[in-house]
């Protein structure tokens, strides 16, 4: 007879087996990269995420699957890396919601949890795309509903789910042109199936596997929610910045929506982000007392903070573009690290010693090591933000695959306002910091910095790691790829030719400055030669050369 009930201990056994399976096969998932560049990290990101989930369940011995699923969700939320890892963490979160209050799950319970997982994950992505991990998760949920109606056996249930999801995965190249061009299936969807395949083996095994730790266990912080990334720009019409947590239990969706509607009627810059038992509120209002009274109708309050923004407006930090010498900026940075509270701080993700020094010299408080091939987790970003002694912190992910993790870190931040500026490259991050104007409010700076970011174009020169064909171009292993704003625009023989090609493509009438950031595999002489080419051909433009020290990319080029 098969397994008809899944308790917490058996769930833990399955999660560990799933994490181990993905850990073993992550190089295979990493290699399923759409672009033939050496930065495929989907398998690695998902592996770290599910490992964090397994680590939490492994520390909790419980026969209650609801508690085990919540533990896995908390671990995944904090350990999530990259877009694929964040989406996976949201699947864990929704799955835990669907099992809330369940002691031993049957197939019908698991089907319900799968449906909740898909709903939660789709909501977490601003513009969901089909042919991705979301599509595979939905296929799993759809088959789970069908199988649960005809079988109580969990092994049979999972076998049928995997068979259906595998067929859907094979169709992903038909859904996404990028996958079809590259001749690969979706890496995130494949990673999810590998986890489930491992979980099924764990279910069938006579004994539990030891968890294969690929990274040192990290401390955990309580999962709370906050998100200040949606603050509106404008003048200070509402004087009091009001923040607090509402501890809720069994609150109805109608009551929660009614409270949000009240907030909209009494203030602006509203953020109301919730997990299962906690709502983080941020609102600018002229009547904070009334807001608190309304909140008490749905739960108890904690972590209250009310600040008069008109008074704050006159005490901004002394951070000026007039002081650009490295000596002065390093002195300011060290001074701030002594613990003096300031209004606004900065945390930036970057990889390469040169880039780190550039960010620190511009006044960035925390540089989080990471980027292509090494995405930091939501908890890595959260810890950096928490180390900054400031009332508000701008987070600069500087990579499109880190934005979701940064937003998740902002949601977990409890003691300060965390604002994610969705910078997609290091040059965008540098430009954003330079454009920061201390005389303006947080909301106004968010608008100013975002505009500066959006005007900055980024070119990259790297090597192809496999043969493929994209946009009608034949690409062979070792070719030099010229990428502009994430798209391959040309293929050249060597990095120097690639740099010249990008410079020619990036110089337009509205561009004033070209920045050449050379990487660990490029010499200063080579970089200066590329700059000399640009100055000779485009004498009316300013050309600057910096050492970035980045791996993977011979050059990162900015146009402003």
Answer whether residue 323 shows pLDDT above 50.
no
Rounded alpha-carbon distances, angstroms, from residue 277 to 93, 244, 246, 258, 301: 13, 14, 8, 18, 12
Answer whether residue 45 shows pLDDT above 50.
yes
Phi-psi region of 514 (alpha: psi -120 to 50; beta: other; left: phi over 0): beta
Task: Quickly list DSSP for 369-406.
Answer: E-BTTBPPBHHHHHHHHHHS-EEEEEEE--STTTHHHH
Res. 403 pLDDT band, cuts 50 70 90: very high
Q: What is the pLDDT of residue 243?
A: 74
Answer whether residue 157 shows pLDDT above 50.
yes
For the stretch 468-505, pLDDT in tens is 777 677 888 888 999 999 888 889 989 999 999 999 99
Answer whether residue 81 shows pLDDT above 60.
yes
Rounded CA-CA distance 400/526 in Å is: 29
For the stretch 324-363, pLDDT in tens is 333 333 333 333 444 578 999 999 999 889 999 999 999 9
Answer whether residue 235 shows pLDDT above 60.
no
Give the pLDDT mean for 136-152.
97
- Provide CATH 3.30.1180 ranges for the chain: 457-559
For the stretch 84-120, pLDDT in tens is 898 999 999 999 999 999 999 999 999 999 999 999 9
CATH T-level assignment (fold) for domain 457-559: Hypothetical Protein Tm841; Chain: A;domain 3 (3.30.1180)
Percent of the chain at pLDDT exceeding 90: 54
Rounded alpha-carbon distances, angstroms, from residue 327 to 237, 357, 360, 363, 388: 39, 12, 11, 12, 21
The residue behind tokens 């949601």 is 411
For the stretch 516-544, pLDDT in tens is 999 999 999 999 999 999 999 999 999 99
Give the list of residues 6+ apart from residue 233 with CB closer than 8 angstroms, or none. Answer: 443, 444, 446, 447
Q: What is the pLDDT of residue 272?
A: 62
Q: Which of 88-97, 130-139, 214-223, 233-242 has the lowest mean pLDDT?
A: 214-223
Q: What is the pLDDT of residue 415?
A: 83
Q: Which is it for strands 417-420 and 457-463: parallel, antiparallel or unpaired?
A: unpaired
Could you tell me the two tokens for 127? 């513009």
Predicted model pTM: 0.69
The CATH number of domain 8-204 is 3.30.1330.10: no
Between 28 and 227, the higher pLDDT residue:
28
Rounded CA-CA distance 47/44 in Å is: 5
Q: Are 194 and 25 in contact (CB under 8 A)?
A: yes
Q: Are 209 and 16 in contact (CB under 8 A)?
A: yes
- Provide CATH 3.30.70.260 ranges for the chain: 240-311
Rounded CA-CA distance 193/32 in Å is: 14
CATH T-level assignment (fold) for domain 240-311: Alpha-Beta Plaits (3.30.70)
**Where does 326-454 sit in CATH, by number?**
3.40.50.510
Between 338 and 310, the higher pLDDT residue:
310
- Provide CATH 1.25.40.340 ranges for the chain: 8-204
Torsion, Cα 43 49 51 52, to 10 degrees, reads 170
Could you tell me the two tokens for 11? 């769930």
Bridge partner list, 338 = none
Task: Quickly list DSSP for 61-119.
Answer: --S-HHHHHHHHHHHHHHH-BHHHHHHHHHHHHHHHHHTTT-SSB-HHHHHHHHHHHHH
């Amino acid at each position: 007879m098969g397994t008809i009930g899944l308790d917490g201990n058996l769930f833990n056994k399955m999660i560990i087996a799933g994490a181990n399976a993905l850990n073993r096969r992550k190089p295979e998932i990493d290699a399923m990269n759409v672009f033939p560049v050496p930065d495929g990290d989907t398998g690695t990101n998902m592996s770290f995420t599910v490992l964090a989930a397994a680590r939490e369940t492994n520390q909790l011995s419980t026969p209650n699957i609801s508690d085990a699923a919540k533990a896995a969700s908390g671990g995944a939320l904090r350990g999530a890396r990259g877009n694929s890892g964040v989406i996976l963490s949201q699947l864990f979160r929704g799955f835990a919601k669907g099992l809330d209050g369940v002691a031993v799950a049957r197939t019908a319970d698991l089907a319900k949890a799968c449906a909740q997982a898909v709903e939660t994950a789709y909501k977490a992505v601003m513009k969901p795309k089909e042919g991705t991990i979301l599509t595979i998760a939905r296929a799993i949920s759809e088959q789970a509903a069908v199988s649960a109606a005809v079988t109580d056996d969990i092994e049979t249930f999972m076998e049928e789910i995997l068979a259906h999801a595998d067929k859907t995965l094979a169709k992903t190249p038909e859904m996404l042109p990028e996958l079809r061009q590259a001749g690969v299936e979706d890496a995130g969807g494949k990673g999810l199936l590998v986890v489930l395949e491992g979980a099924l083996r764990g279910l069938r095994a006579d004994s539990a596997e030891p968890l294969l730790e690929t990274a040192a266990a990290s401390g955990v912080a309580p999962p709370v929610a906050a998100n200040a990334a949606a603050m509106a720009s404008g003048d200070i019409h509402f004087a009091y910045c009001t923040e607090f947590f509402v501890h809720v239990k069994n609150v109805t969706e109608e009551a929660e929506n009614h409270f949000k509607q009240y907030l909209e009627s009494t203030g602006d810059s509203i953020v109301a982000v919730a997990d299962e038992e906690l709502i983080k509120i941020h609102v600018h209002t002229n009547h904070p007392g009334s807001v608190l009274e309304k909140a008490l109708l749905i739960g108890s309050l904690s972590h209250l903070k009310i600040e008069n923004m008109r008074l704050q407006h006159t005490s901004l930090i002394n951070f000026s573009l007039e002081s650009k010498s490295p000596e002065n900026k390093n002195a300011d940075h060290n001074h701030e690290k002594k613990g003096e509270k300031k209004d606004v701080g900065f945390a930036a993700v970057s990889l390469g010693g040169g880039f780190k020094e550039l960010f620190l010299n511009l006044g960035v408080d925390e540089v989080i090591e990471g980027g292509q091939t090494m995405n930091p987790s939501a908890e890595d970003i959260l810890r950096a933000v928490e180390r900054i002694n400031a009332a508000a912190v701008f987070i600069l992910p500087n990579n499109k695959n880190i934005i979701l993790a940064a937003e998740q870190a902002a949601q977990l931040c409890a003691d300060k306002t965390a604002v994610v500026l969705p910078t997609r490259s290091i040059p965008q991050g540098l430009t954003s910091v330079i454009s920061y104007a201390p005389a303006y409010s947080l909301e106004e700076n968010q608008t100013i910095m975002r505009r500066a970011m959006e005007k900055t174009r980024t070119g990259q020169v790297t090597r192809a790691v496999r043969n493929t064909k994209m946009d009608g171009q034949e690409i062979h292993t070792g070719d030099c790829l010229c990428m502009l704003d994430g798209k391959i625009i040309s293929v050249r023989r060597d990095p120097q030719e690639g740099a010249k090609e990008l410079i020619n493509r990036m110089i337009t009438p509205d561009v004033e400055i070209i920045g050449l950031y050379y990487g660990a595999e490029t010499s200063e002489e080579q970089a200066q030669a590329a700059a000399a080419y640009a100055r000779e051909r485009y004498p009316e433009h300013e050309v600057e050369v910096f050492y970035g020290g980045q791996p993977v990319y011979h050059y990162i080029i900015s146009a402003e």
